[in-house]
Amino acid sequence: MTEDEKIDTATATDAETLRAETAQAAPEVAEHDHIARLEAELAEAKQATMYAHAETQNVRRRAEKEAADARAYAVTSFARDVLSVADNLSRGLSAIPADLREDDRLKGLIAGLEATQRELDAVFQRNGITRIAAMGLPLDPNQHQAMLEVPSDQAPGTIVQEMQAGYMLKDRLLRPSLVGVAKKPE
C-alpha cells in the first residue's frame, strides 16, 4: 500500500467514525430540542392560565361591585321623587303663621304634619339620604349650585341663602343645594 492509499484509508476511517458519533449524538440533540420546546410550551400555558385566572378574578370583583352599587343606589329615582314631597311638606309647615299654630282647632293638624315630617326624615336617614349642609359654608360646586350672588358682609363665596335643600344618597349626590352666595363688595 502506498502512502497516499494509507492516508485515504485513514481519512475514510475517520469520516466513518465521525458519522457514527454524529448519528449517536443526533438523537440526543433532537431529544434535547424536543424537551426544550415542550418546556417553552408549558411555560406559555402556565402564563396563559395565570392571566385567565387574574381576568376571572377581575370580572368577579367588578360584578360584585356593580351588584352592590345596584342594591345601594336602586332607590335613586324614587328618592328624587320623594324629595319634592319633603320640600312641599316643609314649605307648608313653614307657611303656617304663629297665631294659627296656637289655634286649638288646628293643633291636631299641625302636630300630624310635623309628625309626618319627622317620620319622613327618619325614613331618609334609614335609607342613607342625608341633607347637605349649606348655610355659612363656602360654596362647594360638588354639592351646591349657586343661583345668585347677594351683597353681604360675609366672605365672598360664602353661602348666605338656601333656596332648596340638597341631599346625598350615601356617598353620591342626589340633588345639589340651590344657594345664594355672598359677592365681593363693590
| pLDDT per residue rounded down to tens, the chain (186 residues) | 556 555 555 555 666 665 655 555 566 667 778 888 989 999 999 999 999 999 999 999 999 998 888 877 778 888 888 999 999 999 999 999 988 888 888 888 999 999 999 999 999 999 889 999 999 999 999 999 999 998 888 888 899 999 999 999 988 999 999 999 998 777
Residue 13 shares a structural domain with residue 36? yes
Residue 75: phi, psi to the nearest 5? -90, 5
Q: Which three cell numbers stand for residue 92?
A: 307648608
The reply to whether 38 and 59 lie within a common domain is yes
Residues 8, 68, single domain; the answer is: yes
At residue 65, what is the residue type?
K
CA distance 128 to 171: 9
Structurally, how many domains does the chain consist of? 3
Residues pairing with 87 in the sheet: none
Q: Can you give the residue range of the structural domain that contains 167? A: 129-186
- Cell readout for 115 is 309628625
CA dist 171 to 54, 78, 103, Å?
29, 17, 43
Task: Assign 11 to helix, strand or coil.
Answer: helix
